[in-house]
């Protein structure tokens, strides 16, 4: 039943929106994310109505199962080796799961977990960083009041691109929003403090380490950083 639903929705989004997809392909001719990043939300909303979010939840179960049965390191290794003996290329992760994640965000543009997992998968597992950033930015545009995607995008800029200016920019946006989870709140502050340290803005960094200490006074790394002159 799940496969039937997926095929049906992919036919809708791929067939009835071919003109929109062609426009996207022309616009982003230099990249290979045109089919992944077309946006037929309005069509799916009109056809499926309120049931689209329920379908998104059902599809997410398949995504969640996929990542529980494929270790990120193993998956990346498979792609890196091209898996030629099985007829796979390094795009195996995209062909297996990214279209499904893309479909979930079409069905429910407020599905934060799908944007987070998709952005991470593209950026870190598949080494398609520009597409990962674009996917996260789309999620931010659809969910501007949520901190999570700002944080994830800041993480990509910090760890992969070593672009500490943009890392701090997005982490500041995350910090300005409500973060209920104590450890995620601390992570935002730690990453932001580290970004300012990389830019040699030590006063800003120190104030952020102090703020992080108020969130988790027992954290040994934070306590050590506050000892640094």
Q: Which two tokens stand for residue 169?
A: 């920019």
Q: Report DSSP letters for 161-198, one per residue.
A: I--HHHHHHHHHHHHTS---SHHHHHHHHHHHHHHHHH
Taking the CA atoms of the chain, what radius of gyration do you get in angstroms?
Answer: 20
Give residue for tokens 């943009």: 166
Contact in structure between 67 and 117 (CB atoms under 8 Å): yes
Encoded tokens for 42? 């309005």
The pLDDT of 13-22, averaged and rounded, is: 42
pLDDT (tens digit per residue) in 20-67: 434 444 544 444 444 444 455 555 555 555 676 788 888 888 888 877
| ∠ Cα 177 52 101 (to 5°) | 65
For residues 40 and 107, what is the distance between their CA atoms, to the nearest angstrom? Answer: 9
Identify the sign of the CA torsion 208, 209, 211, 212: positive
pLDDT (0 to 100) of residue 41: 58
pLDDT at 125 exceeding the cut of 80: yes
Q: Which domains are assigned to the chain?
A: 1-20+38-144 (no CATH), 146-229 (1.25.40.10)
pLDDT at residue 7, rounded to an integer: 53
CB 107 within 8 A of CB 48: yes
pLDDT-derived band at 223 (thresholds 50, 70, 90) equals very high
Residue 82, pLDDT > 50, answer: no
**Does pTM top 0.75 for this prediction?**
no
Which pLDDT belongs to residue 28?
A: 41
Calculate mean pLDDT across residues 195-211. Answer: 97
Structure tokens at 145: 């009041």
- Name the nearest CA neighbour of 187 among 215, 161, 166: 215
Provide the token pair at 192. 């932001």
- The pLDDT tens digits of the residues spanning 137-155 come to 999 999 999 999 999 999 9
Tokens of 126: 């598949």
At residue 127, the pLDDT reads 93
User: Using one digit for the tens of pLDDT, what is the confidence trace for 141-197?
Assistant: 999 999 999 999 999 999 999 999 999 999 999 999 999 999 999 999 999 999 999
């Amino acid at each position: 039943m799940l496969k039937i639903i997926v095929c049906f929705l992919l036919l809708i989004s791929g067939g009835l929106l071919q003109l929109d997809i062609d426009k996207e392909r022309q616009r982003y001719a230099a990249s290979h994310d045109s089919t992944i990043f077309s946006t037929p939300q309005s069509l799916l909303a009109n056809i499926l109505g309120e049931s689209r979010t329920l379908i998104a939840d059902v599809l997410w179960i398949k995504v969640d199962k996929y990542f529980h049965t494929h270790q990120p390191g193993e998956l990346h290794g498979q792609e890196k080796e091209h898996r030629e003996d099985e007829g796979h290329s390094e795009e195996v992760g995209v062909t297996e799961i990214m279209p499904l994640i893309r479909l979930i965000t079409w069905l429910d543009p407020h599905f934060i977990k799908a944007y987070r997992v998709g952005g991470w998968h593209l950026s870190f597992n598949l080494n398609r960083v520009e597409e990962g950033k674009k996917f996260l930015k789309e999620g931010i545009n659809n969910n501007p009041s949520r901190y999570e995607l700002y944080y994830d995008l800041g993480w990509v800029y910090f760890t992969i691109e070593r672009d500490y200016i943009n890392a701090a920019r997005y982490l500041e946006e995350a910090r300005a929003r409500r973060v209920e989870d104590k450890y995620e709140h601390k992570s935002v502050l730690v990453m932001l403090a580290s970004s300012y340290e990389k830019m040699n803005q030590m006063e800003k960094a120190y104030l952020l380490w102090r703020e992080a200490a108020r969130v988790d006074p027992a954290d040994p790394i934070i306590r050590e950083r506050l000892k640094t002159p």
